[in-house]
Chains A and B, each alone.
Chain A
Amino acid sequence: MSVTISKKMCMIGDFGVGKTSLIRRLVDRQFSDEYLSTVGVKISRKTIILENTKQQENVTAQLLIWDLEGHTKFKGIAPTYLQGASGVLIVADVSRTETVERISEHIKLFSSINPKGSIIIALNKVDLIDEEKLALLVEISHSIGQDKVIAVYTTSAKTGKDVDEIFHKLAYTMVEQT
């Protein structure tokens, strides 16, 4: 017997890191190089089948993915949007190290509103840098996240690398915590 569990999750990070592109790759299986900034919030749905969960053999997770307006130096992320979220995907752009440095700020904000929420880090745009630099950034991200973060993924909305995996992982963790 299969049950459907709806879960709210948010995408946060600096502007231009690829939050909308990751959702587009997941939902529409598409990618565009054109940059279109998100304002306010846009909610997308994605249904993911989870096998062998704690509760049931099979669980259908309906993800309500909140794509939030990116953080800029003029405007931070509105905390109202984060309320009631079971998990968050904090996205950074590996070609802009300042967006990686800001991960800790985003973790702090999300944890203050949802102390039990699941956090995963997506180091996005990995197609733009070399392996050596990426390894260092992963190490830095782990050290920033410490025990608050479930996992650090290196993703590329352009190539699709680890996009499905990261959402699946977050969905699984959110459902398990129910």
Chain B
Amino acid sequence: MNPLFKKLLGPRQTEYLIVNHNFIIQEISAEVQHYADAPGDTIPGADARICFPELIGIENILMSIIMGRLPSFELKGIARFTDNNRPLYFDMLAIEHENEQDMGSNLLILIEDATEKMVMKQSLIQRANEANLLLSALAASKDYIDKVIGSMGDALLVTTTLGIIKTVNQSAQWLFGYSEAELIDHPLSKIVVEETLLYQARHRYILSQKELLRELEVVCTTKAGAEIWVEFSCSAVQTELEGLYDFVYIGRDITERKQKDMEILRSLAKEQELRQLKSRFFSMLAHEFGNPLNTVLLATQMLKDYGDEITNEEKQEYLEHVKSASKHMAQLLDDVRLLSSAEAGKLQFHPAPVDLQNFCGELVESIKISDGKDRKINFLCRQSTPPAKKPDRDSEKTQHDPALDPKLLRHILTNLLSNAIKYSPIDGYIDFELNCHNQEAIFKIKDAGIGIPIEDQEQLFESYYRAQNVGKIPGTGLGLSIVKQCVDLHGGQIEFSSDTGLGTTFIVTIPFEKQR
């Protein structure tokens, strides 16, 4: 090689080898073996492809250079080491080399050490690739978790300890009707009505590490304002900060199940009510029919056995007992029939003008006759609006009379007055007051009787129901039920106040014109 050329290559620490067109080594630099794959074979006369296998496969390219068709060919960053602790890299450049003896061209292969540069590059690429692999694994993991959460049929919400929503899945958005943006960063109380329950559970967990509530059923509100039942199970997730937790709620819509439960409860209550009704009915039957039946049986037996021995007056007395007992039973049957037809909706409302003052007056008199003159009923009429006006003629009078159903009204007042008498002491006073104003008739019946215990008041209008303090006072438990049905048919109202031992006041309000 040209000595000048050699001088130029020296300081650059560039090694070389010159090969001919058969790739046989012609000349080598002093240290070129350092980079050879087979250092022992890197000698003039040997095939260069044995010591530098990089040349295998690219013979055509190298020939093109020798023939001057291609200026050069370069391979950068060739590694030549087996021990990772002793790396060796070099760059290889092949160029045409004119033979000094003018015997055609050869190939000059320049080899430059690139170890320092490549080691630095390896270190950088290693870090970058490791970071990318980690990123790729994290992205794949996140993508997978997102898909799992997204495909969950149950609603998922993640909150902070304070109950601020951090994450929601698609099912949660569908269930509550809110978009993700409308829920994120908002308190859980936006959808959970009794959020305090969940709040307390979270705090209990943080303070005592006790297990969180599982299957907690709470009422939630949707964006549309509908109330739904949601069964939540909650678990705590430790955040990146020690002692700080996030809370994961998995919610399932159980509204349908709850509604079915409530329907079952209602049916059970109804069944219970019917059982009680049946029981009260049979109890009433035994008592109320038992006594008059016994009377009839006894009286007829007496007449049969001792008919010849007893006087006519005594016979008459027995027959009167039979008649009275039969009448009583007939009345009972009438009441049962009346109530059952009312409950079946068969009881009709037939309004007709009623002169209330006369009607009530006559009713009081008739009750006095039937229930005994000893009872004092003070009837007081206060009429401030029609029919208070004194009409000139009968036709005008009836025009101003309120249209009530006299038959139903009789049931109402007879029952209330009879009860007032029945449950009052023999010498007790009954106040019966009629007020007409604002197109309403208000009947007030006040007694000083035994009163109704507070625990019985709620069920007072139920059929066959009797208060606990009635003692031996006979009764069917039908009266007030009938009253209630008749008041309802008028579109009126009935209310009462009572103190045990002091008496009871019933107030019935009936409109002159029934509201349709």
Contacts and interface: CB of A to CB of B under 8 A. Distances in A.
B78 A84 contact: no
Contacts of B118: 39-40
A41 B53 contact: no
Contact of B57 (A64, A74, A80): A64
Contacts of A81: 75
Contacts of A6: 49, 53, 56-57
A80 to B, nearest CB: 6
Contacts of B136: 96, 98
Contacts of B76: 40, 78, 80
A123 B77 CA distance: 27
Interface string A75-113: 000101101111000000000101000000000000000
Contacts of B181: none
Interface string A108-125: 000000000000000000
A145 interface: no
B423 to A, nearest CB: 85
B57 A41 contact: no
A72 B128 contact: yes
A6 B130 CA distance: 35
A40 B89 contact: yes
Nearest to A99: B136
Contacts of A36: 84, 126
A70 interface: yes
Interface string A5-23: 0111000000110000000
A144 to B, nearest CB: 20
A37 B75 contact: no
Contacts of A133: none
B175 interface: no
Contact of B133 (A7, A35, A69): A35
A42 interface: yes
B53 A43 contact: yes
A71 B393 CA distance: 116
B61 A40 contact: no
A169 interface: no
Contacts of A8: 56-58
Interface in B74-116: 74-79, 84, 89, 114
A69 B78 contact: no
B370 interface: no
Interface residues of A, number: 30
Contact of A84 (B57, B121, B128): B57
B438 interface: no
A6 to B, nearest CB: 5
Which one of B56, B59, B114, B121 has the greatest number of beta carbons of chain A within 10 Å? B56
A115 B57 CA distance: 15
Given A64-B56, A74-B128, A83-B58, A39 B78 contact: no
Interface in A43-79: 43, 45, 64, 69-70, 72-74, 78
A84 B84 contact: no
Nearest to B140: A96
Contacts of B179: none
Nearest to B59: A84
B132 A15 contact: yes
A156 B414 CA distance: 101
Contacts of A45: 53
Contacts of A40: 76-79, 89, 114, 118, 121
B146 interface: no
A7 B133 CA distance: 33
B272 interface: no
A56 to B, nearest CB: 20
A16 B129 contact: yes
Contact of B54 (A16, A43, A70, A98): A43
A74 B129 CA distance: 11
B378 interface: no
Contacts of A72: 125, 128-129, 132
A64 B53 contact: yes
A39 B77 contact: yes
B283 interface: no
B122 interface: yes
Nearest to B120: A39
Please provide the 9 A-B residue pairs with the shortest distance between their CB atoms, ordered closest to farther. Answer: A40-B77, A8-B57, A84-B57, A42-B79, A84-B58, A39-B122, A37-B126, A15-B129, A37-B129
10 contacts: A16-B132, A35-B129, A36-B126, A40-B79, A40-B89, A41-B78, A43-B79, A64-B57, A70-B129, A80-B75
Given A8-B56, A8-B58, A40-B89, 11 more contacts: A15-B125, A35-B129, A43-B54, A43-B79, A64-B56, A64-B57, A69-B77, A80-B73, A84-B56, A84-B61, A86-B57
